[in-house]
Structure 1
Amino acid sequence: MRTRLAIRIHSFLESTFPERRVFLKSDTDTRFIRLRPGTQLVAVTGMVAFVAWAIVATAIVLMDSIGSGNFREQAKRDQLTYRARIDDIAHERDTRAEEALAAQQRFNAALAQISMMQSELLTSETRRQELETGIEVIQTTLRQTMTQRDGTRAELEELRQDTKADWDTPMAAAAAPLQMDFLSTALSETATERDQIENDAREALEQRAEMELELELLNERNDQIFRQLEEAVAVSVAPLDKMFKNAGMPPDRILEQVRRGYSGQGGPLTPLALSTRGEEPSADELRANQILNQLDQLNLYRMAAQQAPFATPVNLNLVRQSSGYGYRRDPKTGGRRLHKGSDFAGRTGTDIFATADGIVTHAGWQSGYGKLVTIQHAFGIETKYAHNSNLRVKVGQRVSRGDHIADMGTTGRSTGTHLHYEVRVNGKPVNPMIYIKAARNVF
């Protein structure tokens, strides 16, 4: 079998690559080289492999060259995409700010309607009690009417029996015409009275059904008002609670401190007490009191937020943050040093604002800081605004969040126009961006 296969292969090679001889002739001798089919096959295979390798290598070089050009173009496209992304992020930030402002306006409108809704709740509760009393009166009247109707029917039946018995006597026959007239009149009056009682009962039932429907609609309206109030309060409280937690300020302790500090600002809201008979509060009263407690908590949150530095000291659209909080290479000495605040670079004279309500404790020159403004806030928090070119407040002055307190400059130990902004808690510096980022999308 192998011999036949070998013979067939040899025949195929002989027909494809016939044996060739290459003659080499010299002056004295003639020689030849025999190229057998197998040798020719190996030579052709080697040449094909070499040509294929050359083609592949050339293609790789060309692809690498084309790829380099594509990489540069891709880098340019990525750069354009990155810039477009930055623009989109800036637009989204502005949109978020507008949405936050709109949400604040909606919340203020909701607060303005709360007093009106409370009055509506009191009015609805009074109306509900009146309807319940009316239903009870109608039910009592209906029972009395039905009793009277049954009594009248019994008297009518008794009268019929008596009349039938009297008709069997001779005297009754003589007096029959008179008795018939009297009986007809009595029956007519009784029928009329019966019809009137039935009409009164029917009207009472209809009035009861209308009152029950009105009471059900009133309860549904009250429930809808409660749901709207609960949703509005929950949506308003959750961001503030998250903001204080992200800033490392325990909400319970902060609210208790603000509650103790009430001074001429109204005090907490008073719970509702709709019952004067010592009864257990209803479900609506409990819901109303819970909403009032949440509104009181929201009011405390807003007061606390005004007294903590959650705002930015400059308009972020006009400046850039040039350095953050933490250890860095000192721009003057070149050594490693703790940078106790955040730097915002901008043009000379850029407006600088107070980030929370407080009292100015320093407004003047201080070594290293240049022209410095220091404001003392609640909760042991203090903010510093350094390197200013002009100060617009004085020591002892009370300022509010957003007040214009200084102009940006490069006084003191500074390498260029910028604001050095510090936040200190109980005298220790903390990262100001903790407060600014915690308040993002809230104010």
Structure 2
Amino acid sequence: MHIIVLSRRHGAARSLSLDLRWLTLGLALLVALAVGGGAAVGAWLAPAGSALPDTIEITQALDAQRDEVGAVRVDAQRQLDAFAAHVAELQARLTRLDALGERLTELAELDASEFDFSLNVGQGGPEELLDGAAYAPPPFMTTLDDLALRMDSREQQLEVLEQLLADRRIDEAVMLSGHPVLQGYVSSPFGRRIDPLTGRVSVHKGVDFAAKAGSDVVAVGAGVVTFAGRRNGYGNTVEISHADGYLTLYAHNRSNRVQVGDLVQRGQTIGTVGSTGRSTGNHVHFEVSRNGQVVNPHSYIARAGDE
């Protein structure tokens, strides 16, 4: 191959003669050097034994992590909501327990300053740690469940106590005690006596209370009126049936204020003091019987001083 080279300054021409085989060999060497240099650059950029990460795989991994974080956040919020609802329920039950405690204090007539349910329970003591015993707090939900169980037990105990106190009040209400008049005195006791009308020895089945005419005659226990009317020798009479087979009788009344079937409470007015029937003056003839047998009213009258 002949190549002619022209010079601009002098206008001279030069002729070069190149062998085609040497030209082909040079081009081949240039291509080999270019390929080898690119491979060396790639090996220099990437560490040995590692591959470049795929962008799509990285994006997918990030999306999966975001989804996992979102699910954890939703689950945590659900647990917090359940925790808040559980705490609110426990607070409501504690409020009810406080109200029940105050009610029991009233029923038992206890000192309010001694059982003040608005204050924390006093407790404490020196700190004494056990060697080698590491404390591991339980999960908060387990702690709340244990507290709920303790509250259930405490509620049952308080309810039983309230029922016992209520039963005690009912027993006290139906218990016979006190005088059948608000003001008066015993004018004739129970048992053997001289009859005021005949002057002969007789048996007095009750106790007479002299009182002002027209003053109140009151029941000495809660019960049901089983008789209200006139009875031979007794005049205007009221009979009241009580628990455990007891019956009380109030005679010689000026008037009766109750009717058969009425429910009466202890201390309730059932008539007025008079002198009807076989009587020498204004008084109340008071009798007590149990299961049809007349008993001495003295022990029931004396209970008034023990209350």
TM-score, length basis structure 2: 0.51
| Counterpart position of 1:299 | 166
Deviation at 1:107, TM superposition (A): 5.6
Conserved in 2, the CA contact under 8 Å of 1:311 and 1:401? no
Normalized per residue, which structure has more helix? 1
- Paired residue for 1:394, among 259, 264, 267? 259
Q: Please state if 1:347 is matched with 2:215.
A: no
CA distance in 1, matches of 2:304, 2:212: 26
CA distance in 2, matches of 1:374, 1:302: 23
Deviation at 1:389, TM superposition (A): 0.6
4+ residue segments displaced more than 4 Å: 105-109, 111-116, 118-121, 273-276, 288-295
Q: Which amino acid aligns with 1:314?
A: V
Deviation at 1:289, TM superposition (A): 7.1
SS in 1 for 2:305: coil
| Counterpart position of 1:373 | 238
Deviations 1:138-170 (A, max 9, x none): 9xxxxxxxxxxxxxxxxxxxxxxxxxxxxxxxx
CA distance in 1, matches of 2:197, 2:236: 19
Deviation at 1:412, TM superposition (A): 0.5
Deviation at 1:108, TM superposition (A): 5.5
User: Matched residues, percent identical?
Assistant: 38
Conserved in 1, the CA contact under 8 Å of 2:219 and 2:268? yes
Q: Which residues of 2 match residues 216-231 of structure 1 at below 5 A?
A: none
Conserved in 1, the CA contact under 8 Å of 2:249 and 2:287? yes
CA distance in 1, matches of 2:184, 2:177: 18
Q: Could you say if the C-alpha distance between residues 388 and 137 of structure 1 is closer, same or farther in structure 2, counting changes exceeding 3 Å?
A: closer
| Counterpart position of 1:437 | 302
Q: Please state if 1:417 is matched with 2:282.
A: yes
Q: Which residues of 2 match residues 284-323 of structure 1 at below 5 A?
A: 293=160, 295-315=162-182, 318-323=183-188
Q: Could you say if the C-alpha distance between residues 106 and 341 of structure 1 is closer, same or farther in structure 2, counting changes exceeding 3 Å?
A: same
Conserved in 1, the CA contact under 8 Å of 2:249 and 2:286? yes
| Counterpart position of 2:136 | 136
Deviation at 1:370, TM superposition (A): 0.5
Deviation at 1:411, TM superposition (A): 0.6
Conserved in 2, the CA contact under 8 Å of 1:360 and 1:375? yes
| Counterpart position of 1:405 | 270
Deviation at 1:292, TM superposition (A): 6.1
CA distance in 2, matches of 1:113, 1:291: 19
Q: Could you say if the C-alpha distance between residues 312 and 407 of structure 1 is closer, same or farther in structure 2, counting changes exceeding 3 Å?
A: same
Q: Could you say if the C-alpha distance between residues 319 and 394 of structure 1 is closer, same or farther in structure 2, counting changes exceeding 3 Å?
A: same
CA distance in 2, matches of 1:404, 1:120: 46
CA distance in 1, matches of 2:249, 2:283: 13
Conserved in 2, the CA contact under 8 Å of 1:359 and 1:399? yes
Deviation at 1:441, TM superposition (A): 3.1
Conserved in 1, the CA contact under 8 Å of 2:178 and 2:302? no
CA distance in 2, matches of 1:120, 1:426: 52
CA distance in 2, matches of 1:420, 1:430: 14
Q: Which amino acid aligns with 2:197?
A: K
CA distance in 2, matches of 1:297, 1:137: 39
Q: Which amino acid aligns with 1:308?
A: M
Q: Which amino acid aligns with 2:268?
A: D
Deviation at 1:408, TM superposition (A): 0.5
CA distance in 2, matches of 1:425, 1:387: 21
Deviation at 1:274, TM superposition (A): 5.7
Deviation at 1:114, TM superposition (A): 11
Deviation at 1:314, TM superposition (A): 1.0
SS in 2 for 1:136: coil
CA distance in 2, matches of 1:375, 1:111: 36
| Counterpart position of 2:30 | none
The one of the two structures with greater contact order (alpha-carbon pairs below 8 A, sep at least 6) is: 2
Q: Which amino acid aligns with 1:136?
A: A
Deviation at 1:379, TM superposition (A): 1.1
| Counterpart position of 2:200 | 335
Deviation at 1:311, TM superposition (A): 2.9
Decide which structure has the larger Cα Rg and report it: 2
| Counterpart position of 1:188 | none
CA distance in 2, matches of 1:114, 1:426: 44
- Paired residue for 2:229, among 343, 356, 364? 364
Deviations 1:344-373 (A, max 9, x none): 002211111111111111111100100001
Deviation at 1:307, TM superposition (A): 1.3
Deviations 1:91-146 (A, max 9, x none): xxxxxxxxxxxxxx97666498999849977xx9xxxxxxxxxx6349xxxxxxxx
| Counterpart position of 2:14 | none
Conserved in 1, the CA contact under 8 Å of 2:108 and 2:165? no
Q: Which amino acid aligns with 1:363?
A: A
Q: Could you say if the C-alpha distance between residues 309 and 426 of structure 1 is closer, same or farther in structure 2, counting changes exceeding 3 Å?
A: same
CA distance in 1, matches of 2:305, 2:202: 29
